[in-house]
Amino acid sequence: MIVGVLGLQGDFREHLQALERMGVERRDVRTPEALQEVDALIIPGGESTTLSKLMNMYGLTPVLQKQARKGFPVYGTCAGAILIAKEVEDGKPQGLGLMDITVARNAYGRQLDSFETDLNIKTIGKFHGIFIRAPKITRCGSGTEILAEQDGDPVLVRQGAMLAGTFHPELTHDSRVHEYFLRMIG
């Protein structure tokens, strides 16, 4: 299995390093051609409007939407979670509409732009959550499963082969969330 990481903007290098530490075959994905060569895609944290623009410019949006609708696995972290959501609360950016969740960008307010806290993730257990200008997942559709919450808000949600998380496991040296994603997609 080859795992792709969208390498247009954001902390894609940290995801590639996490996969490297796990000994997983990986590729930096920037084009529709590169997307065809991987078995799953991680969309990193970064700036979601920029990421969305770049994905459109590189012609990745329609190709990824088509693949994901056929069951291609996607894991979005932070900005990536915003991009795979069906709805973004102020309408920007227009996401890929892959997962039946609604997100609100930068929803933790300015003074709490960034924080770290211990989470309790289903089947994983205690995990150090790093939140950086994180969005909140404000609605989860009926086909989704909430794997972790923080103060009552979902922070890790699964739907089929898709995973959305508002924190950054790639910034820790703990690969259990990445491993969970790989197990999930077999």
CA gap 179, 186 in Å, rounded: 10
Q: Pick from 35, 64, 98, 105: which binds ligand GLN (CB under 6 A)?
A: 105
Q: Which is nearer to ligand GLN, 51 or 64 (CB)?
A: 51
Residue closer to ligand GLN (CB basis): 47 or 149 = 47
CA distance 58 to 9: 12
Active site residue 37: no
Q: Does residue 47 contact residue 84 with C-beta atoms inside 8 Å?
A: no
In the list 35, 38, 42, 79, the residue contacting ligand GLN (rule: CB under 6 A) is 79
Nearer to ligand GLN, 163 or 186 (CB): 163
Segment 29-58, which members bind ligand GLN (CB under 6 A)? 45-48
Q: Are 127 and 119 in contact (CB under 8 A)?
A: yes
Q: Kindly provide the b/e burial profile for residues 137-158, where b requires at least 16 CB atoms within 10 angstroms of the residue's own CB.
A: beebeeebeebbbbeebbbbbb
Active site (annotated) includes residue 178: no
Could you tell me which residues come within 8 angstroms of residue 162 by beta carbon, excluding any fewer than 6 positions away? 68, 73, 74, 75, 76, 84, 98, 99
Q: How far is the CB of 169 from ligand GLN (least distance, A)?
A: 12
Within 13 Å, how many C-alpha atoms sit on residue 80's CB side? 30
> Footprint of ligand GLN on residues 111-170 (CB under 6 A)?
132-133, 135
CB of 85 to ligand GLN, least distance (A): 11
Residue placing its CB nearer to ligand GLN in the complex, 25 or 132: 132
Residue 46: CB minimum distance to ligand GLN, A: 5
116 in catalytic set: no
The Cα diameter of the chain in Å comes to 42
Which residues participate in catalysis according to the annotation?
A: 78, 168, 170
Which stretches of the chain bind ligand GLN, using CB under 6 A? 45-48, 78-79, 82, 105-106, 132-133, 135
